[in-house]
Each structure stands twice: as structure tokens, then as C-alpha cells.
Amino acid sequence: MAAEEGAEIVGQRIGSGNPVIGKEKAEAGRCRECHGADGNSSDAKIPNHAGQYAAYLVKQLSDFQSGARRHEIMTIMAEDLSAADMADIGAYFASREIMQGDGAGANALGRNLFDNGDQGRDIPACASCHGTRGKGGIAGNVIYPVIGGQRKIYLRSQLVGWKLGDRKNSPGGVMNKIAESLSDDEIEALADYISGL
């Protein structure tokens, strides 16, 4: 975990699962084959999970089980997981060093949207939920995932999915509303900037 994180934040990030048991389950369940032994994937289409909030990962796995989120491979991978399995696997990935970008995404358009949004189009700043460096947070019962340092191709695909309505599992559909207002160029710019954080 990042040295600057306090014990309370680390506890929130890891949640109720056991990261040691989660490492074994992630290995046995083949999670680490795609998402990386340290939670950083080697495939640009597969998301990093390093330092992601465990509760966010649990929600996504639950959504794959229920059909609220669809993915050909992840639906199969999640189908037999118990609540304890999900909590432990989530805790393992959450306990890894938080994903970091390479700083290469110096995209002015992406940075402006991330930092300021566009009030004229009711687009909030990404930073207002995901944090100034995109490292996520918890506000009440809502978990804002780590997006800073996430894979660029994955970020782009998710924003496009939100825009087209192929993905619909954000609280209150907020990500669909935001993405629907973004142009293709803005999606590309955001993916470029956020991946570098």
C-alpha cells in the first residue's frame, strides 16, 4: 500500500476480507493470470486491480453473477464465487500497491475535463468523485473506484460502454448520464489523461 495512506484508509480499501487467503483464492481461481500477480495486468484490454477498493471489486463480481454487468469471461469466472471468496479476493487486490500511470497522459482536454468538468453540459469534474489523482474514495455507501493509472484501452472501452448503455451498473446511472454527454474525442482525451495519473 502507498506509504501516505493512513491505517483507516487502508482498512476501508481492504474491507472485511482476508488478503492472505485472497491471494490463494486469486491464484486458484486464475484471477492473477489475467489481472497480474501484483494486480497490474499485462494486457491493455484487461483492467488493473492493484489497490482498487475491495468493496468495488466485490460489487463488480456480484454484478457479473446477477447479470447487472455482462462480460463473457467474467460472468463465468464469477458464477461460483461465494460472498467470502469475493471479499477475500477483493482484499488481496486492494492490498497491492495502488496502480500508477506513467505520467505520459499530458492531454490538456482530458485534464480540463478531469479537473473541471463542463458545467454548461452538466458534466461534473471526474476529480470530484474519483479524487484529484483518480485514486478513488468512499463517501457514505458509495465507493468511487481507483481510475488513475488504469489501462487506457480499458478506460476508453468502459466510457464507450457507459455512453452506449452497454454498461449500466453505476449508482443511479450517473456514469451513463456523464458519458452520454462526452464526444468521442473527449472520451479519448480522458482515457489518455487518466491512464497517466
The verdict on 132 and 165 lying in the same domain is yes
Of 51, 70, 94, which residue constitutes the final position of a domain?
A: 94
Nearest to 25 by CA among 87, 85, 93: 85
- Positive or negative, the CA dihedral 95, 54, 63, 84 is positive
Owning domain of residue 26: 7-94
Task: Read off the pTM.
Answer: 0.92
Residue 99 DSSP class = P
Yes or no: say if 140 and 127 are a contact pair by the CB < 8 Å rule. no
How far is residue 89's CA from residue 14's CA, in Å, rounded to a whole number? 10
* pLDDT-derived band at 104, boundaries 50, 70, 90: confident
80 and 20 housed in the same domain: yes
Instruction: Indicate if 80 and 113 belong to the same structural domain.
Output: no
**Domains in the chain: how many in total?**
2
Q: Are residues 11 and 90 in the same domain?
A: yes
The CATH number of residue 172's host domain is 1.10.760.10
Is 154 contained in some domain? yes
Same domain, 22 and 77: yes
Annotated binding-site positions: 31, 34-35, 74, 126, 129-130, 175
Evaluate whether residue 166 is within a structural domain. Answer: yes
pLDDT at 2 > cutoff 50? no
Give domain status of residue 103, yes or no: no
Residue 13 included in any domain? yes
The residue whose grid cell reads 472485511 is 16
pLDDT digit string (tens) for 15-72? 999 999 999 999 998 999 999 999 999 999 999 999 999 999 999 999 999 999 999 9
8 Å CB contact between 24 and 82: no
Q: Count Cα neighbours of 84 within 13 Å in the Cβ-side half-sphere.
A: 3
Number of H-type helices and E-type strands within the chain: 11, 2
Q: Which residues are annotated as a binding site for heme c?
A: 31, 34-35, 74, 126, 129-130, 175
On whether residue 2 sits in a domain, the answer given is no
